[in-house]
Structure 1
Amino acid sequence: MSWISFRTRGGVLKIKPRWQMRSAERNRQVRVIDLGIVVIAWWSADDLREL
């Protein structure tokens, strides 16, 4: 679960606390910007289909 989630045509942008990261985000299988306590993750449409 994320604090904020934005759906776009190209995928989903999620802003969440670090402790809520999924395994694909921890393993950097999706694009992640680590801001310390908060993480911004971009799940493209291809990532959502594959993972």
Structure 2
Amino acid sequence: MSNDPSSEKARQQIDENLKRVFQAQEEAELPDRFKQLLEQLKAQDSQTGDAS
């Protein structure tokens, strides 16, 4: 890739936008179905003694 200032600025903007998108996803609440599945997995782990 070239090292010209406009390319660097574009890369920085892309980086910032990606960080915003991933942060928003990280902060979003899990759907109820996913929560239920996680609880089922935790219950299975505790029954088999494999809980971490």
TM range (shorter): under 0.3
Q: Quick check: which one's helix share is greater?
A: 2
Highest CA radius of gyration, 1 or 2? 2
Q: Quick check: which one's strand share is greater?
A: 1
User: What TM-score results when the alignment is normalised by the length of structure 2?
Assistant: 0.19
User: What TM-score results when the alignment is normalised by the length of structure 1?
Assistant: 0.20
